[in-house]
Structure 1
Amino acid sequence: MATPSYSTIVKDGLWDNNGVLCMLLGMCPTMAMTTSATNGFGMGLATAAVMASSNLLVAIFRGYITYEVRVPVFILIVASMVTLVDLTMNAWMHELYKVLGLFIPLIVSNCLPLARLESFAAKEPVLPSLVDGIFMGLGFTFALTAIGAMREIVGSGTLFADASLLLGPAFKFMEMRILPPEASVLVMILPPGGFLATGLLVAGKRLIDIRAGKAISMGGAHCVG
C-alpha cells in the first residue's frame, strides 16, 4: 500500500481524521483538561510532543519490533517520551505542569498515540511517520483548545485566562475578557460542559463535511455525508 502524500497526512491530522472530532479518542484529557483554552492548549502540545517523538522512534526501529511484542514495546516507547515531556515541563513550565498534574503521565494510556503507532508508524517510512505524529498531535491540540475556548468563554467570560502565568510572559497578549462575569454559565466549566462542548464541535464538523460533500469519519469508520 502506497504511503499517503504529505498533504493528505497534514489534512488527516488537522481535520479529516482528527483524533478527537472524528475518531473520538483521548476523551479523558479532552473532558478533564479543557476547562480553559490555556489548559487545553498546554495538554495538546504535551501530547503532540509525545506523538511526534514516539512515531519517529517506532518508524526507525519497526524492522526490529516483532508483531508479538509490538504492543508492550509501543507502550514502553510512549511511556519513555511521556517521562521526558513530564520532566521538561516540570523544569521549564512549572506552573502549567502543576495545573495539568496527573494527566501528563496519563498520556501513556491515551488511545490516540498508540493508535497512530499501530496504524501508521509501524508500517510507514520515518519522515512520513514523523509528520503524521506532528500533525495528529496538532489536530489534537486544536480540538482541545477549541473545546476549552468554548467552555471558558461561556462558563467564565474569559479567553486564555492566566496564559502568561502558565505558558510564560510572551503569552500575555492572548488573555482577554469576552463576556461580563454576570453573563457566564457555570455549567460549561463543570463536567457536563465538556460533553456538551465536544458534542457541539463534533456535530459542527460533521455538518461542514457534509456540506463539502466529504466522507464522514467517526471512530475509524467512514460513511458518505
Structure 2
Amino acid sequence: MSDPRLSELALDGLWKNNPALVQVLGLCPLLAISNTTVNALGLAIATLVTLLVSNGVVSLIRDWVRAEVRLPVYVMVIASVVTIIELIMNAHFHELYNTLGIFIPLIVTNCIIIARAEGFASRHGFGVSMFDGLMMGLGFGLVLVVLGGMRELIGFGTLLDGADQLFGPVAIDWGVRILPEQMTFLLALMPPGAFIGLALLVAFKQAVDQRSARRARAAKAARSAEPAAEAAG
C-alpha cells in the first residue's frame, strides 16, 4: 500500500479529520479533564506520546502479527506505553498525576489510539505512521488545550493556573488572572460547560469549512465564466 503524502496527513490530523472535532473520538477524557489549561495540556502530551510511540511500534511489528490476534496485541502495545507514561508522571509530575487520576490509564482504551493503530499504522511504514500519530495527537491536543483554556478562563477567570505542576518551580508565577472572581461563570467548569464548549468549537470549524467551500465554488464559477466571456468577445 502506497503511503499518503505528509501534507495530507498533517491536514487530516490538525483540521480536516481532527479526532475531536470530526471523528468525535476520545470524548471522555476530552470533556472530563479540560477544566483547566494545565490539566488539558498534561493529558494532551500523554496522549500524543502514546499515539506517536504506539503507531511506530505497531508499524514495525505489523508483518509478524497474525490477523486473528492483531487487536489484543495492539492493545498490549498501547497498554505498555501508557504504563511507562503513568510511571514517569507519578515520579516527576506527582501533583498533576493525582489530578488526572484514572484518565491516564484510560488512555489505553482511547478510541483515537486504537483506531490509528488498526486503521493506519498496521497498513503503512514506520516513518509515515509516526508522523500520522504526531499529527493526530497534535490535533486532539490542540482541541483539548483550547477547550481547557476556554473553561478555565470563564470558570476561574485565570489562565495557566497551577503551571508548576507540569513545568516545575520555574512556572509558579505563570498563572495570570484575567477576569475578576465576580465575573466567573461556574457552569463552564461543570459537565454541561464542557459539552457547550466543544459544541462551539465544532460549530466554529463547520463555519470555517462552509465559508471555504463557498469561496472555492465562487472561484470555480469565475474561472468557468472566463472562457465563455472571451468567446463571446
- Per the normalisation by structure 2, the TM-score is 0.88
1:20 aligns with 2:37: no
Partner SS for 1:213: helix
Gap regions ≥5 residues in structure 1: 215-225
Matches within 5 A, 1:26-175: 26-172=26-172, 174-175=174-175
Partner SS for 1:122: helix
- Size of the aligned set, in residue pairs, is 214
Q: What do residues 181-223 of structure 1 show as CA deviations (whole Å, max 9, x unaligned)? A: 1000001001111101011101111111111129xxxxxxxxx
Q: Which amino acid aligns with 1:197?
A: G
Q: Which amino acid aligns with 2:80?
A: S
Post-superposition offset of 1:128 = 0.3
Q: Which amino acid aligns with 1:191?
A: P
Percent identity reads: 43
Preserved contact between residue 96 and residue 167 of structure 1 (Cα < 8 Å): no
Preserved contact between residue 19 and residue 112 of structure 1 (Cα < 8 Å): yes
Post-superposition offset of 1:171 = 3.6
Distance (Å, rounded) in 1 between the aligned partners of 2:41 and 2:174: 12
Quickly say closer, same or farther: Cα 1:170–1:19, change in 2 above 3 A. Answer: farther
Q: What do residues 129-168 of structure 1 show as CA deviations (whole Å, max 9, x unaligned)? A: 0011112111111011011111111111111111123432
- Per the normalisation by structure 1, the TM-score is 0.91
Partner SS for 1:22: coil
Q: Which moved more, 1:49-58 or 1:93-102?
A: 93-102
Distance (Å, rounded) in 2 between the aligned partners of 1:174 and 1:60: 41
Distance (Å, rounded) in 1 between the aligned partners of 2:7 and 2:170: 31
Q: Which amino acid aligns with 1:208?
A: V
Q: Which moved more, 1:16-25 or 1:158-167?
A: 158-167
Q: Which amino acid aligns with 1:123?
A: R
More helix by share: 2
Partner SS for 2:213: coil
Q: What do residues 95-134 of structure 1 show as CA deviations (whole Å, max 9, x unaligned)? A: 2111111110000111000010111100010000001111
Preserved contact between residue 13 and residue 136 of structure 1 (Cα < 8 Å): yes
Quickly say closer, same or farther: Cα 1:172–1:139, change in 2 above 3 A. Answer: farther
Preserved contact between residue 38 and residue 161 of structure 2 (Cα < 8 Å): yes
Which structure would you say has the larger Rg? 2
Distance (Å, rounded) in 1 between the aligned partners of 2:13 and 2:85: 21
Distance (Å, rounded) in 2 between the aligned partners of 1:128 and 1:213: 29
Partner SS for 2:57: helix
Distance (Å, rounded) in 1 between the aligned partners of 2:58 and 2:31: 28
Post-superposition offset of 1:170 = 3.9
Distance (Å, rounded) in 2 between the aligned partners of 1:130 and 1:34: 26
Distance (Å, rounded) in 2 between the aligned partners of 1:205 and 1:37: 21
Q: Which moved more, 1:22-31 or 1:133-142?
A: 133-142
1:205 aligns with 2:205: yes
Gap regions ≥5 residues in structure 2: 215-233
Distance (Å, rounded) in 2 between the aligned partners of 1:174 and 1:120: 39
Which residue does 2:187 correspond to in 1?
Answer: 187
Partner SS for 2:3: coil
Partner SS for 1:144: helix
Preserved contact between residue 93 and residue 165 of structure 2 (Cα < 8 Å): no
